[in-house]
Amino acid sequence: MSLEGAIAVTRFGLGAKDGEIKQASRAPKDWLLGQLRPNNSSHAAFKDLRPSDEIYSFSRQYKTARKTMDGDALTAASRVYGKAVRQNFNAEVTARSLYAAQTDTPFHERLTRFWSNHFSVSARNRNTRLFPGAYEREAIRPHILGSFYELAISAIFHPAMIIFLDNDSSVGPNSKRGRKNNIGLNENLAREALELHTVTPAAGYTQADVTEFAKALTGWRIARKTQDSQKQGQITFQESSHEPGSRSVLGKLYEEKEAKQALAILKDLCARPETAQNISHKLAMHFVSDEPPKALVSKLKKVFVKTEGDLTALYTALVNSPLAWAPKAQKIKTPEELIISTARLIGLEKVMSERPRDTYDSLAQVPFTAPTPEGWPDTAKDWLGPDALIKRIEWANELASRMPDIDGRSFLKTALGRQLSPQTLQAVSRAESGQQAFAMALMSPEFQRR
Amino acid sequence: MSDFSRRQTLGLLTGAAFAATPKISFAQGIEGRKFIFIILRGGMDGLAALIPDDKEIEGIRGHILPAQNERLNLGNGFRLHPSFTGLKDLYAAGEAAFVHAAATPYRERSHFEAQDTLETMSFAGAKEGWLNRALAAQGQAGLAVGRAVPLAMKGPAPVTNWSPPLFKEAPDDLLMRLSGLYENDSLLASQLLAAQETSEMGMEISQRSARRFTKEYTIALSTLGELMSVDGGPGIGMVGLDGWDTHNGQANQLIRNFTALDEALIALKNSLSGAWEKSCVVICSEFGRTAAANGTRGTDHGTGGLTMLLGGAVKGGKIHGNWPGVKPAALYKGRDLYPANDITSILKGVMRDHLGIKRHTLDTKIFPNSGRAINGLIRV
């Protein structure tokens, strides 16, 4: 077993399954790069989950039916709907957890999660409560190996994002529908696409740029009915909602019409150096350190620019950079990473309480519920306040206390390989019981970091 | 770390340890005063909370506001949202004041940058909060209730955070062994130390709060109040309350939020008990929202918002500062309530008159490059 093997599995992967460090140690970089292939997303874990158009139809049926009901019938209907929403959410969280706990391509899965968080759609918004799992499967999972622009299109123009950031209800004030119904713009999607998804404020855009981009995005909404080739619940372009005219964003005039307009703007945004900087920095920060080496960021940025945002080239450059392999782990695991890495070690069923969301909630990170469109934060200062550390210790202690036969000592080598320090080995070996040893192993500096 | 600050870190919040922290002597008898900073995250709609009688308001957003006859009339050209019954009573008792059309110097419309500005009152990307600088100036330790230390309180001055426990407490023996294991990891070691000091007392209080209240805002504020009001408890506390970004169908959402906030503020007053008399609570949001409703019966990110000041130390029953009105020509960039009052100046006035921080310290260390403090916010 090599140190690089352990780093590949813990820093780039999702934490060690039994024997995984040994397997990766043979050729750690090849083990990682070999995972950059289209993935079998029809994994058994996902097979019974609903696609987004079905979800849309289901909630639309409910909302339409509501209008005709009152009194007890309404109460009963909303109870049934509420139950379906909760069941769907729990099924999604369970499937996502199970897949991560078992997958043999954990680097691929970490990248999927990175992008799902970058283009965050949260179930905290009550209009998107049912969507985030389907969104990840449809908009993110199949697109993480191509170009950044293709990924950005599939994410930003997915029904879940269109609903989440209010583009479904945004209407050009001078469009046919806008004039007729006196309804107007909602600039939420335009603003977040600029600020978070692509160029960031570093590009120096103004309110006028946001408004212009918002106008260009009008018309992109959800198909209300199935007709022609369009299924209800899929993304569509509705000309009668689109603000007429050409647009100007960041000093460039866009004379494209209708559906092509927003795509042309997005394409240019994706190609800007500020986007290359944003993505390169974020990726390095996610994998290597809260304050990643400048040389690594600029290397990634060069690759991004040169390959026009080829994501596989970007990941390859990351894996091939010696700066990503510093022996000492810098990143503190997020709560979700801690839970998944523990599940890979001892099995998901042992880690999860009856409702999986409760397990995550105890450490303040329930999947699919990022607090803002920015997604979950990714640094130690966000995740390791004094109180958060105590919660982790209480959680580890609780977990150990539910497993009378566990012996923490036996997991150390499996989990950490050559990352295991003599101090941790000694301290865990001297624990007063196998259960205490297990809690200590989970709370060791090496297991808390990656 | 000097002995002085180290003792504070160690002593955070266990009553006895706080008492052992050297007391700062306040020339103007400021000892015992409490300052609480509450951020309503997401951009609270100030024009829905404190509704001006200006006739233009009905035209631009009347359909998303409560009916005129339901609004709580303050008799000075403004009416509170009907959900703020507790706040109305505080105002009548002279324990609540408002500054409308208030904003930080930030003029763009990003939540994250705006919150960063409100919390650092410094350049974008700054890593230290102004409240931490105020703590340093006071030689005090701060307390945040919530799962994370908010940016406003981050910095070199000692701060701890606390939230209710979810499982049984970890046994002392495990904590002791882990503190040995963390000897070579300074981050984990320091966080564990800070946490151990806080957990015992906080837990007892929150169990009581959780029995009495079910609402998130109320549990946070009442626990904060109780932790601060114990003998030798912290003088400066902070909470962030989420959920104020109301782009769509905001009328019902705000009824829920305002009702919850109103209940929480009264619970805060009750939990501070005697300390309320010497307290100033300042409530801000990162920005206000557009003056007019948007196309989806909500409002978008704007500029001027509402700042509230509550507590026995506040010169209440009054609306401070300037009111720009909501005529089309008076709006900022034709869309937002004009930022007629600077939140920095409000905070500066409170820091000076309530906590006795010297003007020079305020101008150079806590709010560099800021305007003049607003006078008369605090009963002196």
Q: What are the structural domain ranges in chain A?
A: 335-448
Q: For chain B, how big is the Rg over CA atoms in Å? A: 21
Alpha-carbon span B149 to B39, nearest angstrom: 13
Instruction: Nearest by CB to A188, from B160, B183, B247: name it.
Output: B247
Shortest Cα–Cα distance, A393 to chain B (Å): 7
pLDDT digit string (tens) for A79-91?
888 899 999 999 9
Shortest Cα–Cα distance, A382 to chain B (Å): 7
B111 CB neighbours in chain A (<8 A) are 372
Strand locations in A183-303 (E)? 220-222, 235-237, 247-249, 252-254
pTM of the model: 0.72
pLDDT digit string (tens) for B258-273?
999 999 999 999 999 9
The mean-pLDDT minimum among A14-18, A52-56, A67-71, A389-393 falls in A67-71
Instruction: Tell which of A168, A389, A420 to mutate to test the B interface (max B CBs under 10 Å).
Output: A389
Residues 6 or more apart whose Cβ sits within 8 Å of residue A229: none
Residues 6 or more apart whose Cβ sits within 8 Å of residue B241: B38, B39, B40, B41, B216, B217, B220, B261, B264
Alpha-carbon span A309 to A319, nearest angstrom: 16
Residue B248: closest C-alpha in chain A: A166
| Phi-psi group of A71: left, alpha or beta (phi > 0 → left; psi -120 to 50 → alpha; rest → beta) | left
Categorize the per-residue pLDDT at B27 as very low, low, confident or very high, splitting at 50, 70 and 90: very low
Place of tokens 């989990």: A415
What's the pLDDT score for residue B211? 53
Residue A41 predicted with pLDDT over 70: no
pLDDT digit string (tens) for A105-123?
999 999 999 999 999 999 9
What's the mean pLDDT in A286-303?
A: 98
Shortest Cα–Cα distance, A373 to chain B (Å): 10
Residue B140 predicted with pLDDT over 90: no
Alpha-carbon span B86 to B81, nearest angstrom: 11
A394 vs B170: CB contact, 8 Å cut-off? Answer: yes
Strand-strand pairing, A252-254 and B236-241: unpaired
What's the pLDDT score for residue B219? 86
A385 CB neighbours in chain B (<8 A) are 147-149, 161, 191
Residue ranges and CATH numbers for the domains of chain B are 3-8+36-366 (3.40.720)
B188 vs A371: CB contact, 8 Å cut-off? Answer: no
- Supply φ then ψ for residue B321, to 5 degrees: 80, -170
Categorize the per-residue pLDDT at A40 as very low, low, confident or very high, splitting at 50, 70 and 90: low
Residue B243: closest C-alpha in chain A: A371
What's the mean pLDDT in A72-100?
A: 90
Cβ proximity of B103 and B305 under 8 Å: yes
What's the pLDDT score for residue A152? 98
Residues 6 or more apart whose Cβ sits within 8 Å of residue A175: A218, A219, A240, A241, A242, A243, A244
Categorize the per-residue pLDDT at B279 as very low, low, confident or very high, splitting at 50, 70 and 90: very high
Alpha-carbon span A203 to A53, nearest angstrom: 35
What's the pLDDT score for residue A241? 97
The pair of structure tokens assigned to A377 is 């934060």
Categorize the per-residue pLDDT at B6 as very low, low, confident or very high, splitting at 50, 70 and 90: very low
- Please give the residue that has the higher pLDDT: either A410 or A260: A260
pLDDT digit string (tens) for B180-203?
999 999 999 988 887 876 665 565
Categorize the per-residue pLDDT at A13 as very low, low, confident or very high, splitting at 50, 70 and 90: very high
Residue B207 predicted with pLDDT over 70: no
Residue A159 predicted with pLDDT over 90: yes
Residue B12 predicted with pLDDT over 50: no
B198 CB neighbours in chain A (<8 A) are 386-387
B112 CB neighbours in chain A (<8 A) are 195, 372, 374
Residue B10 predicted with pLDDT over 90: no
pLDDT digit string (tens) for A169-182?
999 999 999 999 98
What's the mean pLDDT in B370-374?
A: 93
What's the pLDDT score for residue B178? 94
- Please give the residue that has the higher pLDDT: either B211 or B157: B157
Residue B21 predicted with pLDDT over 70: no
Residue B160: closest C-alpha in chain A: A386
pLDDT digit string (tens) for B310-329?
999 999 999 999 999 999 99
Alpha-carbon span B176 to B180, nearest angstrom: 7
- Please give the residue that has the higher pLDDT: either B324 or A357: B324
Residue B1 predicted with pLDDT over 60: no
Cβ proximity of B215 and B259 under 8 Å: no
The number of helix segments (H) and strand segments (E) in chain A equals 25, 4
Residue A362: closest C-alpha in chain B: B166
The mean-pLDDT minimum among A363-367, A404-408, B18-22 falls in B18-22
Residue A33 predicted with pLDDT over 80: yes
Quote the DSSP letter at residue B55.
T
The mean-pLDDT minimum among A106-115, A245-254, A371-380, B188-197 falls in B188-197
Alpha-carbon span B114 to B101, nearest angstrom: 16
Instruction: Tell which of B187, B200, B223, B238 to mutate to test the A interface (max A CBs under 10 Å).
Output: B187
Taking the CA atoms of A301, B126, A201 and A117 in sequence, report the sign of the dihedral they define.
positive
What's the pLDDT score for residue B204? 58
Categorize the per-residue pLDDT at B210 as very low, low, confident or very high, splitting at 50, 70 and 90: low
What's the pLDDT score for residue B201? 57
pLDDT digit string (tens) for B339-364?
999 999 999 999 999 999 999 999 99
DSSP per-residue codes, A217-236: HTTEEE-SS-BTTBPTTSEE
Question: What percentage of chain A carries pLDDT values higher than 70?
Answer: 99
